[in-house]
């Protein structure tokens, strides 16, 4: 038994599908089966339940996978620590980011980080806050950069920059000449919104509710799972929306949309970075955390 057996076991436990595991590991299915057989022989217990043509961890497998994750994390940390000692940070970083951050904040940060640490490969998953939290908890991601608030016993959340949400209108909309809209005017607008679970939508609904406008009373004509799709719908005149000012900076310059605030209502949120507090923190993770909170980054985004 060696580390390769543990790596095969980890991927198979994550995918619960031998075909997917075979592609990810670039190993034949018989080789994967043999690796699992050797582990089962070593521990004297069945690690997977193959009944009903489904692959699920047994209770013995559930125990082992926790130790395997710890072992492989420690091995990765040891490798990164040694490389760091010889003056070279290398390895991979699995990031998850919500759409607004991925499209408007991360490109510049990743470019600068890559310049300083060219031997670190960043894998980025772009999805909504709910999915990022799920993937942080199951250790598919090292770090998550999200827009919405998160409360979970196993999640550590730290703000890294502030962002303001604005009402976004088609450029020639009659209300687009105004700097501030009343709550009543907002309530009468047709809205194109991000899907439920989006950090932007969670913050927007919470703030509007606090201002006396029930989000369920909004005239929602469309829900879309992508920020650019929402902006495109607004540009086409299908409705208004509420988005980060960062997300529509290009469209404002192109004069396809205009933004306004809501009188006496400030929709301000923190972009936060989240980690699983039970996941050992590698030198790459610590380096990235220090980098994203550096004064240089704060100056760029005027935090």
**Residue-level pLDDT at 165:** 92
N-to-C CA span, the chain? 50
Instruction: Tell the residue number behind the tokens 């950090």, with chain if given.
Output: 199
**Residue-level pLDDT at 85:** 61
**Residue-level pLDDT at 150:** 84
For the domain 91-303, what is the CATH code? 3.40.190.290
Taking 50 as the pLDDT cut, the residues of the chain under it are 303
Domains in the chain: boundaries: 3-83, 91-303
Tell me the DSSP string of the chain.
--HHHHHHHHHHHHH--HHHHHHHHT--HHHHHHHHHHHHHHHTS--EE-GGG--EE-HHHHHHHHHHHHHHHHHHHHHHHHHHHTT---EEEEEEE-HHHHHHTHHHHHHHHHHH-TTEEEEEEE--HHHHHHHHHTTS-SEEEESS----TTEEEEEEEEEEEEEEEETT-GGGG-SEE-HHHHHTSEEEEEPTT-HHHHHHHHHHHHTT--GGGSEEEEEES-HHHHHHHHHTTS-BEEEEGGGGHHHHHHTSEEEEEETTB--EEEEEEEEETTSPPPHHHHHHHHHHTSHHHHHHHT-
**Residue-level pLDDT at 240:** 96
Write phi, then psi, for 96 (nearest 5 degrees). -120, 135
Residues near 34 by Cβ (< 8 Å), separated by ≥ 6?
Answer: none
pTM value surpassing 0.85: no
CATH for 3-83, options being 3.40.50.300, 2.40.50.100, 1.10.10.10, 3.40.50.2000: 1.10.10.10
**Residue-level pLDDT at 274:** 95
Structure tokens given for 231: 């902006």
**Residue-level pLDDT at 143:** 95
**Residue-level pLDDT at 86:** 58
**Residue-level pLDDT at 89:** 81
8-state DSSP, 293: T
H/E run at residue 207: helix 199-210
pLDDT tens-digit map of 185-209: 999 999 999 888 787 888 899 999 9
């Amino acid at each position: 038994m060696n580390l390769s057996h543990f790596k095969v076991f980890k991927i198979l436990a994550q995918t619960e599908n031998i075909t997917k595991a075979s592609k990810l590991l670039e190993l034949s299915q018989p080789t994967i089966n043999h690796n699992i057989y050797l582990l089962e022989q070593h521990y004297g217990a069945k690690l997977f339940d193959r009944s009903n043509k489904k692959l699920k961890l047994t209770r013995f497998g559930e125990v082992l996978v926790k130790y395997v994750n710890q072992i492989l994390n420690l091995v990765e940390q040891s490798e990164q620590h040694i490389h760091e000692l010889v003056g070279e940070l290398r390895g991979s970083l699995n990031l998850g980011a919500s759409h607004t951050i991925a499209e408007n904040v991360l490109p510049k940060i990743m470019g600068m980080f890559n310049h300083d640490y060219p031997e670190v490969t960043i894998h980025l998953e772009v999805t909504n806050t709910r999915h990022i939290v799920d993937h942080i908890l199951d250790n598919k991601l090292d770090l998550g950069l999200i827009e919405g608030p998160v409360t979970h016993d196993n999640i550590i959340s730290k703000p890294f920059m502030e962002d303001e949400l604005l009402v976004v209108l088609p450029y020639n909309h009659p209300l687009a000449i105004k700097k501030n809209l009343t709550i009543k005017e907002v309530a009468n607008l047709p809205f194109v919104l991000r899907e439920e679970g989006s950090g932007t939508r969670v913050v927007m609904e919470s703030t509007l509710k606090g201002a006396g406008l029930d989000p369920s009373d909004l005239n929602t004509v469309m829900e879309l799972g992508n920020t650019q799709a929402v902006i495109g719908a607004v540009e086409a005149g299908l409705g208004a929306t509420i988005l980060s000012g960062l997300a529509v900076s290009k469209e404002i310059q192109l004069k396809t949309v205009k933004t306004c605030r809501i009188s006496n209502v400030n929709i301000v949120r923190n972009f936060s970075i989240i980690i699983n507090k039970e996941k050992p923190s590698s030198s790459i993770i610590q380096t990235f955390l220090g980098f994203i909170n550096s004064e240089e980054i704060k100056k760029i985004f005027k935090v």
